[in-house]
């Protein structure tokens, strides 16, 4: 229709939809998020908490789709099943990752290139929610905590290291269904993106760039060493990461020999 802006210029919203029971949440996008939500079976069943659901407005459908895909990829280990196959059924995630989803949403630049980060607001159109303040933490501090986590995991589950070119992956064997005992206690830290992320002033980085399941194993793909080396104290950090990976490999070899 003449006079209407092109679709790419119309703002769109990426939303994090909360259930009343906090067991699951949904990540999606829409040109009219509240209207979209009202079409869901969960809305008709009065299972949703709209007062604590938020939307991030961005300039255009393309950017909204990019952010939705990025969140879905990051939250993939938390994907939850629902009891219907209607539209949007694959966009639900376990409630324990809700805080992580909100943290990821607040980090998304509006247009994908500038540093401008709009604040999520209530999906009902009310006042903006309280801004989430993310404190600074150095890359050294994050690494020390991550090193401790991986050594703890190696003591209670099968941990192996795979290398393909300059890509290093830490593989946690059978992690998908390891939900009890010592491994179960460590699961929240493994799936929390803050475990791998440092930020100092305007700088930030992650030691792990991707978490994904391969059958029953969880694969942690590390940030390339060349990128870590560009951080402050990066050369020393690369040495520490390499040393730990060698140590983990030796622990696994020794464990395998002991079982024989």
- Please tell me the total number of residues recorded for the chain in this structure: 260
**Is residue 160's pLDDT more than 90?**
yes
pLDDT of residue 107: 83
Confidence band of 151 (pLDDT split at 50, 70, 90): very high
Which pLDDT belongs to residue 155? 92
Mean pLDDT, to the nearest integer, of 150-165?
A: 92
Q: Give residue-wise pLDDT tens across range 88-130.
A: 678 999 998 998 898 888 888 877 555 567 788 889 874 444 4
Write down the mean pLDDT value for the chain: 84
Q: Rounded distance, CA 90 to CA 55, Å?
A: 19
Rounded to an integer, the average pLDDT of 181-200 is 84
Dihedral sign (CA 96, 82, 102, 159)? positive
DSSP letter string, 61-83:
HHHHHHHHHHHHHHTGGGB---S
- Give the pLDDT band (50/70/90) at residue 135: low
Q: Rounded to an integer, what distance in angstroms lies between the CA atom of residue 136 and that of residue 53? A: 26
pLDDT of residue 130: 41
CA distance linking residue 54 with residue 167, whole number of Å: 36
Band (195; pLDDT cuts 50, 70, 90): confident
Return the ∠ at Cα 142 (arms to 80 and 158), rounded to 5°.
Answer: 55
Can you give the pTM of this predicted structure?
0.56
Strands 208-214 and 54-58: unpaired
Query: Are the C-beta atoms of 148 and 242 separated by less than 8 Å?
Result: no
Task: Give the pLDDT score at 238.
Answer: 95
| Nearest by Cα to 227 from 252, 251, 202, 208 | 208
List, in sequence order, every residue forming a beta bridge with 164; answer none if it has no partner: 167
For the stretch 197-210, pLDDT in tens is: 888 877 888 999 88
Give dist(CA 142, CA 129) in Å, integer: 28
Count of other CB atoms within 10 angstroms of residue 225: 18
Query: Percent of the chain having pLDDT more than 90?
Result: 38
Select from 237, 245, 230 the least CA-distant residue to 167.
245
Instruction: Flag whether pLDDT at 69 surpasses 60.
Output: yes
Whether residue 216 has pLDDT greater than 80: yes
What b/e sequence results for 100-131 when a residue is b if at least 16 CB atoms lie within 10 Å of its CB, and e otherwise? bbbbbbbbbebeeeeeeeeebbbbeeeeebee
> What tokens were used for 196?
């791998």
Q: How far apart are CA 146 and CA 241, in angstroms?
A: 10
So where are the chain's domains? 7-122, 139-259
């Amino acid at each position: 229709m003449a006079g209407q802006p092109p679709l790419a210029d119309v703002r769109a919203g990426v939303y994090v939809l909360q259930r009343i029971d906090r067991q699951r949440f949904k990540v999606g996008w829409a040109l009219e998020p509240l209207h979209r939500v009202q079409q869901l079976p969960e809305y008709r069943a009065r299972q949703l908490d709209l007062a604590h659901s938020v939307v991030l407005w961005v300039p255009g459908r393309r950017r909204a789709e990019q952010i939705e895909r990025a969140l879905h990829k990051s939250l993939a280990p938390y994907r939850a099943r629902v009891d219907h196959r209607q539209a949007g059924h694959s966009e639900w995630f376990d409630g324990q990752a809700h805080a992580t989803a909100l943290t990821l949403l607040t980090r998304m630049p509006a247009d994908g290139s500038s540093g401008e980060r709009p604040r999520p607001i209530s999906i009902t159109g009310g006042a903006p929610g309280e801004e989430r303040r993310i404190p600074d933490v150095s890359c050294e501090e994050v690494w020390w905590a991550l090193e401790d986590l991986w050594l703890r995991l190696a003591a209670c589950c099968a941990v192996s290291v795979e290398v393909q070119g300059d890509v290093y992956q830490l593989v946690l064997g059978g992690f998908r269904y390891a939900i009890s005992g010592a491994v179960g206690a460590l699961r929240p830290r493994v799936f929390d993106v803050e475990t791998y992320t440092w930020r100092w002033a305007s700088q930030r980085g992650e030691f792990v760039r991707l978490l994904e399941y391969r059958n029953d194993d969880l694969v942690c793909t590390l940030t390339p060493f060349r990128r870590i080396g560009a951080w402050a104290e990066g050369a020393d950090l690369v040495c520490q990461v390499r040393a730990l990976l060698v140590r983990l490999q030796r622990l696994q070899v020794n464990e395998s020999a002991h079982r024989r």
